[in-house]
Amino acid sequence: MVESVRPRRWPAYAMAVLFLGYAAGKAAFALQARLGFPGGPPVSAAETEGYFMDAATAQWFATASGVMGACLAVATVTQLGRRVPRILMLLVLVGMLLAAGGGAAIMIVDGFVGIGVGWRWYHGILGVVVTGLFLAMIQSYAVATRRRVVS
């Protein structure tokens, strides 16, 4: 039987680049002790002051999460990453999808409908693209690591 769905590496590499871009943007704002993201809606000084932790610390944590996300994305297509138990990796990827997807959903809804955050329509498109890439990466990993039944 011919496989109709093949694993693809490019969604994982694209997600790694996006995660590293996210990390770089967060690091730039961490150095300035600002909340937000370059090119995103501005965060007022009052919002920054009322945030539950120091802005620089929060941004450094976000930077670390971006780097970790890039590493996990690359792990889905490398031999080292394939050594991780499949169910564990899938659970981690779904958890990442929920976290990143939540942010993407806010960008999508605010970009297209407007909920007051300040994301624009092009941010909404980016949210759709990121969600699609993430789903493609998970699907590709699942296909590449499924057990083959020999008959």
Contacts of residues 26-31 at CB distance under 8 Å and 24 or more positions apart, as own/partner, are 26/59, 26/60, 26/62, 26/63, 26/66, 27/59, 27/60, 27/63, 29/55, 29/59, 30/55, 30/56, 30/59, 30/60, 30/62, 30/63, 31/56
Residues contacting 145, CB < 8 A, separation 6+: 82, 86, 89
pLDDT at residue 70, as a whole number:
98
Q: Residues 97, 127: contact at Cβ < 8 Å?
A: no
pLDDT at residue 6, as a whole number:
72
Q: Residues 100, 109: contact at Cβ < 8 Å?
A: no
Apex 48 CA angle, 44 and 49, nearest 5: 115
pLDDT at residue 68, as a whole number:
98
> Does pTM top 0.85 for this prediction?
yes
pLDDT at residue 1, as a whole number:
43
Residue appearing with tokens 């009322």? 50
CA 103 – CA 107 distance, rounded (Å): 6
- Residuewise pLDDT in 10s, the chain (151 residues): 445 567 799 999 999 999 999 999 999 999 999 999 999 999 999 999 999 999 999 999 999 999 999 999 999 999 999 899 999 999 999 999 999 999 999 999 999 999 999 999 999 999 999 999 999 999 999 999 988 766 6
